[in-house]
């Protein structure tokens, strides 16, 4: 190799090294894709699937985004689950430690405690001021119960009415739950409006729509009742990424 050739090779190597030093690798943290902050995990907690349960219903009951619950348990669309199945309410910790040798017959050894502390849950993501939907009131009547942040018994609003009164979809969407399997909600309908937004309608006397059915804003989906409640009323919730928000911040003023 001539002196000129060696100089050329050295120059190319130096330029390649400088390019590598200045390259940028973008890593997304604290989200499950698309810039969305994941739900707050409940480390160590699981739920056992009962007959009639759906992934949407279990996610709703536990305040978790259905996409996170599915991802944490390796469940793909259309999110089919089975009675007796156990679902984690937190992401997997990774691979299992080995517990002994199959060839030597040595007794399993207890796994050593992890060297690092448990991961901290991500901070809650504030719901946007504008959801992008033109929400409608789901029923006529006075609000007799208001949303209280952090209160598990007041995660939505209660609208007084009479038995058989029309309950309507608050926005366009698809019904992802229609049943009576969530304790405290009676006959319940959950409508998915987008990947981030859900609305829920509880204590109905009669459900008029089925899971998988598309509904339009203002369409009657149920008859008001008192299932799971002390009086006839509609319990209405709006949830963003699995977390309840104040419906009156999004419903039109009246």
Please indicate, yes or no, whether residues 147 and 243 belong to a single structural domain of this protein.
yes
- Give domain status of residue 39, yes or no: yes
Q: What is the pLDDT, as a whole number, of residue 77?
A: 86
Please indicate, yes or no, whether residues 80 and 151 belong to a single structural domain of this protein.
no
> What average pLDDT score do residues 192-216 get?
96
Domain boundary among 92, 118, 133: 92
- Give domain status of residue 104, yes or no: no
Q: What is the pLDDT, as a whole number, of residue 10?
A: 43
Mean pLDDT is lowest, of 60-74, 114-128, 192-206, 224-238, for 114-128
Tokens 């998988």: give the residue.
212
Please indicate, yes or no, whether residues 88 and 185 belong to a single structural domain of this protein.
no
> What average pLDDT score do residues 37-57 get?
88
Q: Identify whether 164 is preceded by a cis peptide bond (ω within 30 of 0).
A: no
Please indicate, yes or no, whether residues 80 and 149 belong to a single structural domain of this protein.
no
> What average pLDDT score do residues 23-51 get?
63
pLDDT at 51 over 90: no
- Give domain status of residue 77, yes or no: yes
The pLDDT-based confidence of 120 (bands split at 50, 70, 90) is: low
What contacts 240, CB < 8 A, 6 or more positions away? 127, 128, 131, 196, 197
Where helices occur in the chain by DSSP H, the ranges are 3-22, 55-61, 66-72
121 vs 32, 46, 66, CA distance in Å? Answer: 13, 16, 17
- Long-range (24+ apart) CB contacts under 8 A made by 42-45 are 42/89, 42/90, 43/90, 43/118, 43/121, 44/90, 45/88, 45/89, 45/90
What are the tens digits of pLDDT across the range 177-190?
999 988 889 999 99
Q: What is the pLDDT, as a whole number, of residue 146?
A: 97
Mean pLDDT is highest, among 13-27, 34-48, 83-97, 206-220, for: 206-220
Q: Which CATH number goes with the domain that contains 70?
A: 3.10.350.10
Mean pLDDT is lowest, of 96-110, 132-146, 198-212, 220-234, for 96-110
Please indicate, yes or no, whether residues 87 and 149 belong to a single structural domain of this protein.
no
- List the structure tokens of 108: 């399993």
Q: What is the pLDDT, as a whole number, of residue 109?
A: 53
The pLDDT-based confidence of 1 (bands split at 50, 70, 90) is: low
Question: Mean pLDDT for the chain?
Answer: 80
d(CA 175, CA 168): 12
Q: What is the pLDDT, as a whole number, of residue 116?
A: 47
Residue range(s) defining the domain that contains residue 50 = 30-92
- Give domain status of residue 124, yes or no: no
Please indicate, yes or no, whether residues 86 and 148 belong to a single structural domain of this protein.
no
Number of domains into which the chain is organized:
2
Please indicate, yes or no, whether residues 80 and 159 belong to a single structural domain of this protein.
no
Q: pTM for the complete prediction?
A: 0.69
> What average pLDDT score do residues 155-179 get?
97
Furthest C-alpha separation in the chain: 96
Classified as helix, coil or strand, 247 is helix
């Amino acid at each position: 190799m001539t002196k000129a050739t060696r100089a050329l090779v050295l120059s190319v190597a130096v330029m390649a090294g400088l390019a590598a030093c200045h390259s940028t690798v973008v890593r997304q943290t604290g989200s499950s894709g698309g810039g969305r902050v994941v739900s707050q995990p409940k480390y160590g907690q699981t739920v056992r699937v009962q007959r009639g349960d759906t992934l949407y219903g279990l996610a709703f009951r536990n305040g978790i985004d259905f996409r996170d619950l599915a991802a944490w348990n390796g469940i793909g669309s259309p999110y089919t689950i089975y009675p007796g199945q156990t679902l984690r309410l937190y992401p997997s910790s990774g691979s299992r430690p080995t517990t002994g040798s199959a060839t030597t017959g040595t007794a399993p050894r207890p796994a050593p405690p992890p060297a690092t502390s448990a991961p901290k849950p991500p901070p809650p993501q504030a719901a946007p001021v504008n959801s992008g939907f033109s929400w409608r009131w789901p029923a006529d009547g006075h609000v007799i119960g208001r949303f209280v942040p952090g209160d598990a018994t007041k995660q939505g609003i209660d609208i007084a009415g009479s038995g058989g009164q029309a309950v309507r979809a608050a926005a366009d969407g698809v019904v992802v739950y229609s049943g009576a399997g969530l304790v405290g909600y009676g006959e319940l309908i959950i409508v998915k409006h987008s990947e981030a937004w859900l609305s829920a309608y509880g204590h109905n006397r009669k459900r008029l729509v089925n899971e998988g059915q598309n509904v339009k804003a203002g369409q009657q989906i149920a008859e008001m009742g008192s299932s799971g409640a002390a009086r006839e009323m509609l319990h209405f919730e709006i949830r963003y990424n699995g977390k309840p928000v104040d419906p009156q911040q999004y419903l039109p003023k009246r």
